[in-house]
């Protein structure tokens, strides 16, 4: 009796240990190496469980950079940024985990170590550079005015006395505030998701939106009642990857971005997501 129960408890203890060890291998969170998987023998070695997981935060409302694709029947985040992130993670031997949040929560997520990096078509502004480190620029875009086709809202001057929607915390919000200094009566509505912003334009609750060209193009293609006009005087908005201040990943990522720029991989992805340019 005594003996039997101790055998039982040994079996139970080893079972438990196996469960714990198995649990260590996945979803390790932010850049920390998972405990080494020591469970030898019983199962096929799974090289993937040995890899560190990097958590990437994004705001998946930004087709073709990052967006929810439901076409396969399940909800997947895909896009230009996701392909680049997967390529880099793979090159550096990391697993990738993508988490979706509002755009204005991204830099705070880095500051509180809830993410190892951010890819969200994000432009390194001096403000953001105070709170995060940035990779080299991997893509350039311009701002546009999105409005109804018959609106004749093509240039910043046309936005006088108009309601203009922008994404909260974006450089488009900053650009609108800048415009409002010279364009009289321009009123700004800041919203979390680009989809909501486009909806506001379509329903006429706002007159126009300021959105990046590549993203505006997609929305205008799927909403024929809308048009977009590039703001010519506007300087280019480069996209870069953001990291927590002092992160060793910045260097490693820069190395792979340069490699992608030299081996044609970046051009391939630009063609895939933005069409031939």
Q: Is 59 among the residues that bind ligand ARG (CB under 6 A)?
A: yes
Q: 91 vs 105, which CB is nearer to ligand ARG? A: 105
Helices (H) and strands (E) in the chain, counts: 9, 15
Closest CA to 274 of 64, 11, 41: 64
Q: Is 143 among the residues that bind ligand ARG (CB under 6 A)?
A: no
Candidates 98, 122, 197, 241; binder of ligand ARG (CB under 6 A) is 122
As a whole number of angstroms, the distance between CA 156 and CA 180 comes to 9
Candidates 25, 30, 31, 61; binder of ligand ARG (CB under 6 A) is 61
Containing 200, the helix (H) or strand (E) segment is helix 194-203
Candidates 31, 34, 79, 121; binder of ligand ARG (CB under 6 A) is 121
Q: 222 vs 262, which CB is nearer to ligand ARG? A: 222
Q: Is 167 among the residues that bind ligand ARG (CB under 6 A)?
A: yes
Are 249 and 117 in contact by the 8 Å Cβ rule? The answer is yes
CB of 59 to ligand ARG, least distance (A): 4
Are 50 and 37 in contact by the 8 Å Cβ rule? The answer is yes
CB of 191 to ligand ARG, least distance (A): 11
CA atoms within 13 A on the CB side of 75: 5
Binding site for ligand ARG (CB under 6 A): 59, 61-62, 65-66, 103, 120-123, 167, 170-171, 194, 212, 237
């Amino acid at each position: 009796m005594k003996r039997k129960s101790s055998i039982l408890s040994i079996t139970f203890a080893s079972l438990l240990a196996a469960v714990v060890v198995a649990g260590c291998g996945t979803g390790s969170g932010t850049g920390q190496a998972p405990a080494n998987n020591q469970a030898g023998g019983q199962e096929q070695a799974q090289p993937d469980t040995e890899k560190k997981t990097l958590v990437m935060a994004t705001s998946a409302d930004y087709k073709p950079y990052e967006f929810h694709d439901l076409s396969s029947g399940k909800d997947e985040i895909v896009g230009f940024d996701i392909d680049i992130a997967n390529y880099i993670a793979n090159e550096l031997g990391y697993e990738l985990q993508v988490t979706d949040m509002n755009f204005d929560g991204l830099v705070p997520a880095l500051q509180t170590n809830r993410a190892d990096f951010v890819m969200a078509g994000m432009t390194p502004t001096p403000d953001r550079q105070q709170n995060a480190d940035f990779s080299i620029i991997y893509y350039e875009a311009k701002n546009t005015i999105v409005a109804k086709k018959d609106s004749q809202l093509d240039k910043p001057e046309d936005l006088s006395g108009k309601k203009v929607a922008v994404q909260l915390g974006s450089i488009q919000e900053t650009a609108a505030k800048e415009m409002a200094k010279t364009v009289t009566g321009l009123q700004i509505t800041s919203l979390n998701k680009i989809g909501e912003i486009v909806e506001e334009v379509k329903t006429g609750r706002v007159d126009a939106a300021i959105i990046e060209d590549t993203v505006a193009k997609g929305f205008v293609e799927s909403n024929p009642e809308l048009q977009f006009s590039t703001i010519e005087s506007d300087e280019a908005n480069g996209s870069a990857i953001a990291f927590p201040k002092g992160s060793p990943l910045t260097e490693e990522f820069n190395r792979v971005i340069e490699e992608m720029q030299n081996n044609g991989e970046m051009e391939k992805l630009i063609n895939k997501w933005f069409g031939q340019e």
